[in-house]
Homo-oligomer: A and B are copies of this chain.
Amino acid sequence: MFLRDLVQQFGGEAIGELAAPLTGVGTLERAGAAQIAFLANPKYRRALDATAAGAVIVGMRERDATDKPRIVTANPYAYYARVAQLFSPPKAHAPGSHPSAVIAASATVSPQATVSAHCVIGERVQIAAGAVIGPGCVIGDDASIGADSVLVARVVVYHGCKVGARGLLHAGVVIGADGFGFAQDNGQWVKIPQTGCVRIGDDCEIGANTTIDCGAIEDTVIGHGVKIDNQVQVGHNCSIGDHSIVSGCTGIAGSTHIGSRVMIGGAVSITGHLSICDDAVLSANAFVTKSVTAPGMYSAGFPLMPHAEWLKNAAQIRHLDALADTVKELKKQQSAGTSGQSTHPGESS
């Protein structure tokens, strides 16, 4: 694999060429002579000068910033991603079902699919060609897994849920557990049956131990190309639009609708029944209680400080509204006082 091969496959301009073929990718700091690195952020340009990488992927503006053999492209990070994929193809799985897997007679498992050890596959489940159901997964009745999707291990898909094509669901994911719906009745809780499903589009990745609940009556819907990190919770009847991305530890309460290309940071809390518009960006730790109607970046979060300062400042927050009133009053008095003073000279004259 030489630069000319990469350019042929992925485009871009090759300047210079390697003497020996590449064996992989690396960071500017650690790559060696047989590896290709990348510079996406001009901030790290100093690392470009110092790198021992055999070749680099750079943006248009860094075209001449190095003498190394290089590929020039509009998006060096995405280019790097594709090159890295080339050197790290997904593990091949032999098709077929492990003898320890328990598969309902009415399930339809493609002969090109893999069902691993200790899986349990329910009635009428459909598993498409190229799908890999890793060890210990449980697929409920009437669920379906699309072509080339990989469920790594111990994934649970409840009955009736649908996972699209080319998905990647990491260990411990739970798709379609009951939404959290109860009616209060004389101080006790009556369960609202959760009869909807979860529908997940194509090309989605879902992180370890993430949970996506089924809808109460209608479905919870995840679009195409959505990327969800570990330990995210998505409540019943939510929808997440195409190509949105949700970082770890985020919780989205029921019936909230996330638009397309939305970026959600880690540990964000979003309350229920909201709409987050297309292209909104919610920073890490944001607490969202109202719909977001215009694209752009939104933030929240109490800033970190030494503990003693936090104690004092946090205490004042309890009186912030009173403080604002006092300031308003002071301002009113002062402008009255100031005008009083301004007439003073006249009085005293």
Contact = CB atoms under 8 A, between A and B. Distances in A.
Interface stretch (A12-20, A64-72, A106-114, A230-238): A230-238
Nearest to A326: B327
Nearest to A140: B153
Contacts of A305: 298-300, 318
Interface residues of A, number: 132
A331 B331 CA distance: 10
A280 to B, nearest CB: 11
Give the one of A75, A205, A281, A307 with max B CB within 10 A: A307
Given A102-B118, A301-B310, A317-B313, A177 B230 contact: yes
A185 to B, nearest CB: 4
Give the one of A177, A205, A245, A323 with max B CB within 10 A: A177
A291 B283 CA distance: 17
Contacts of A324: 316, 319, 323
A184 interface: yes
B302 A302 contact: yes
Can you tell how many copies of this chain the complex includes?
3
Contacts of A235: 248
Contact of A153 (B156, B187, B292, B301): B156
A23 interface: no
Nearest to A269: B267
A207 B177 contact: yes
A22 interface: no
Nearest to A304: B300
A46 interface: no
Contacts of A116: 120
Contact of A289 (B193, B287, B303): B303
B84 A192 contact: yes
Contacts of A245: 182, 189
Contacts of A319: 313, 324
Given A321-B315, A330-B334, A348-B347, A192 B301 contact: no
A170 interface: yes
Interface stretch (A1-9, A24-32, A124-132): A24-32
Contact of A248 (B85, B230, B233, B330): B233
A97 interface: no
B253 A247 contact: yes
17 contacts: A100-B102, A117-B120, A152-B177, A153-B156, A170-B177, A180-B227, A187-B243, A265-B271, A271-B284, A300-B301, A300-B304, A303-B314, A315-B321, A323-B323, A330-B331, A333-B334, A333-B338
Given A75-B183, A152-B158, A323-B327, 9 more contacts: A27-B217, A172-B172, A174-B208, A253-B266, A267-B287, A271-B284, A305-B318, A309-B321, A319-B324
